[in-house]
Structure 1
Amino acid sequence: MRIALVTSLVALAVGFVTTGCSKKAVGAPGEIFAVQVIAVEAKRQPVTESLSLIGSLAANEMVEIKAETEGIVQDILFGEGQRVEKGQLLIRLDETKIATALAEAESNFKLSQANFERAKQLFKGQLISQQDYDQVTASFDVNQATVDRRKRELKDTRICAPFAGIMGARIISPGQVIARDAVLSWLVDLDPIKVELNVPERFLSQVQVGQTLDLKVAAYPTNRFQGKVYFVAPSVDSNTRTTLVKAEIPNPNRELKPGMFANLDLTVNVRENSIVIPEAALSQLLDGNRAIVFAVDTNSTVQLRPVKLGLRLAGQVEIVGGLEAGEKVVVEGVQKIGPGAKVKLAPVEAAAPYLKPS
């Protein structure tokens, strides 16, 4: 690989020298001609390394609102799409039959309680048998359980929100007879919202709880939403060779909806002091991660410089070897210069198109 690099540099240098000689033959003997070029200073700045993934949005919490007891719908106290608070009354069922049944159960319980107290005294005085006492006790227990059950049924005629959220469509009407466990509506908590993604196992070493991610959805193409990973599954799916990862996204305006498809950039590393130059400064690529740039020294002389490349960014490239921060590299006018050439730097304003907006 070193031999290949030297060969490339020699070939490149010879080409420039040949071009330079042909130009000198036309000009005046001994004349030093400075070519105007545009150069940009290599700067230190944070570089973010991320994985591009896809995911699906899911509600923070989502539950079916069901009837815990059968009955007739008396009042519907929520609007479709309305925000409700935890414990807020949503639906009230007609409690007439249950209230009557509760009153009957309480009456039977009082009678069985009196019988139980009497039987207890008689049993202590050995005036009744164990069998008679057990029958009275069993009747007391049954009536007590019936009262408890009727009280729960009465309470279940009032259906309340289990958590704060947004109500879905209602699928009942006042006066409708509903059965136990019938679905009446849905309740969804959208803030925060969750995103679920399946990360290929080859990337698992780079994913951990606490990492940030950027998210985009088709419904809002110009918006970027940010969130944080809170769960990485402890196992890999043997069929897909992926691991489930979940993140939370703040969603105060409730723009994001469950079921949406999302494109994600998951931040796996941030290098705070990377050296970055415009991609236009790369004069020649030697292989996948090496290139040639033209560096300008303090004497305005061009040097051929091999550099090692890191991440490719939007119009920028990270340099991980061969160049120091503060050095200038030519981004325009490369075709007019060669190693050792004298250059004149264009005004700073000319380099503006090559600078990353701050």
Structure 2
Amino acid sequence: MTQTNKVRSNITALLLLAVTSSFLLHSCGNSKEEDHGHTAGYTIKGDTVVLTENSNIKSKLNFSTVAEQDFVMELTTAGIVRAIPTAYAEIAPPFAGRVLKSYVRLGQKVNAGSPVFEISSPDYFNSQKEYFDAKQEFRQAELNLKRQQDLLKNGVGVQRELEEAETEFTTKKSALSNASAALKIFNIDPENTVLGQALIVVSPIRGDILTNNIVIGQYLREDAEPLAIVAELSKVWIVGQVKEKDIRFIRGLDEVEVMVAAFPDRTIKGKIYHVNEIVNEETRSVEVLVECENPNHDLKPGMYVTVLFKDTPEIAILVPSKSVFQKEDKQFVFVKMDDTRFEKRQIETAGTSNGSVIVTSGLRTGEVIVSEGGSLMIRNY
């Protein structure tokens, strides 16, 4: 055999081998497809699944009838107890000075205006002196103005001197007002102030003494930390966080339940007080303030709680969560048409609750859906 003939013979053998392999692979592929069609137990026609005569899927399906139900939307989130700002006061010294006396103890109830502590302060003395000097100068200006008015009325006065007296009166009145305001800023009544008297710092609100850091003899700087905290805790706020996607379910004054780990058998009622207008960009949530009655002071500021938001009751269609399937951004269920045909139906939902999905469109009452086992019919979807 020549070299050329050998080459031709080898090429022919290789072509034969390739054809044979292709045939075998094609045969195996057809066999697998036929097996899959046989074992799947159904065929698909558009959006309809048709079970084959020998399908064993039907025995594994459970069904439920679509019906409207009374439904209350519930959202659960973590919360923290806060004192209401208007019922909370941190009491710090308005001037630098030395503590001379304490009038309170931890847990004591105080009223607005009740003394908390007393300090001796050079700055306070200077403010007192400025007030009394301004008050004295105002009285002199007032008397001088009255005198000039009487003189002019009796024909012996001078108009220019009256105008000067009026100007001085206005100036001294303004100075007195400023000196008085400087004392009132610190809850000090100028009319009851005695020159040289120590400064008595009072509580601006009614409540309980929550912290007491008053030390007799301690020298305090003007920017010292608060020595006492007073708060009225018969009502408190619960600060909860609600995801922005759920904020549509929160309505003003809806009922709220608060659960505390310290009291596992108790549920505390509350009302939504305020929904923040700003979304936290990091957590994508909105702050919701819940106001709760707290007569026994069981809710302590800083305490963590669980908040259950309850919307107003309404009628809605609820289906089992196992009956709903997701494909990309769409959801669907299988609606029973007869014993062997099931329609793949797209639906719109509005959240989940207790293992059920709220359906807003796509289903009608009385229709029968596959509640369990639908996953056996979605292999080709």
Question: How far, CA to CA, are the matches of 1:265 and 1:5 in structure 2?
Answer: 44
- 2:303 and 2:69 map into 1 onto residues whose CA distance is 34
Match of 1:208 in 2: 251
Structure 1 partner of 2:16? none
Q: How does 1:144-223 map to 2 (within 5 A)?
A: 144-145=176-177, 148=180, 152=184, 155=189, 157-180=199-222, 182=224, 183-223=226-266
Distance 1:275 1:241, change over 3 A: closer
Are residues 189 and 111 of structure 1, via their aligned partners in 2, closer, same or farther at CA, if it must alter by over 3 Å? same
Structure 2 match to 1:50: 74
SS of residue matched to 1:53: strand
Tell me the equivalent position of 1:230.
273
Cα 1:236–1:100, aligned 2, differ >3 Å: closer, same or farther? closer
The corresponding residue for 1:26 is none
Residues 142-171 of structure 1, C-alpha deviation per residue, up to 9 Å, x if partnerless?
774487468757538343333322212222
CA RMSD of aligned residues (A): 5.0
Q: Which amino acid aligns with 1:88?
A: S
Aligned to 2:112: 86
After superposing the two structures, state which structure 1 stretch, 106-115 or 258-267, moved more.
106-115
Q: 1:253 aligns with which of 296, 299, 313?
A: 296
2:113·2:203 contact (CA, 8 Å) conserved in 1? yes
Question: Contact 1:236 / 1:242 at 8 angstroms: preserved in 2?
Answer: yes
Once the two structures are superposed, the pairs formed by residues 252-331 of structure 1 within 5 Å of their partners are 252-271=295-314, 287=324, 313=354
For the 8 Å contact 2:145–2:162, the answer to whether it is kept is no
Partner AA of 2:260 in structure 1: V
Identity %: 20
- Matched to 1:91, the amino acid is F
List gaps (5 residues or longer) in structure 2.
1-43, 62-67, 191-198, 326-331, 336-341, 369-381
Q: CA deviation at 1:50?
A: 0.8
Q: How far has the Cα of 1:119 moved from its partner? A: 4.7
Q: Partner residue of 1:352?
A: none
AA aligned to 2:79 is G
TM-score, normalised to structure 2's length? 0.54
Pair 1:82–1:323, CA change in 2 (3 A) = farther
Moved more, 163-172 or 67-76: 67-76
Higher alpha-carbon deviation: 193-202 or 143-152:
143-152
Return the index of the structure with the highest Cα Rg: 2
Shift of 1:247: 1.0
Bigger shift: 82-91 or 113-122? 113-122
Q: Which stretch of the first structure deviates more once superposed, 242-251 or 77-86? A: 77-86
1:139: how far off? 6.9
Show structure 1 runs of 4+ deviating over 6 A. Answer: 5-10, 272-276, 289-292, 316-320
Q: Aligned pair in 2 of structure 1 residues 126, 104: CA closer, same or farther (>3 Å)?
A: closer
1:64 to 87, 90, 93: 90
Change in Cα spacing, 1:100 to 1:58, as seen in structure 2 (3 Å) is closer
* Distance in structure 2 (CA, Å) of the matches to 1:53 and 1:8: 50
State how far apart, in whole Å, the 1-side matches of 2:255 and 2:73 are. 11
Does structure 2 conserve the Cα–Cα contact (< 8 Å) formed by 1:122 and 1:128?
Answer: no
Q: Is the Cα–Cα contact under 8 Å of residues 112 and 136 in structure 1 kept in the other structure?
A: yes
Q: 1:189 to 1:275 in 2, by over 3 A?
A: same
What TM-score do you get using the length of structure 1 for normalisation? Answer: 0.57
Counterpart of 2:76, as a letter, is S
**CA distance, structure 1, for counterparts of residue 324 and residue 298 of structure 2:** 45
Contact 1:112 1:139 in 2 (8 A): no
Distance 1:250 1:143, change over 3 A: closer
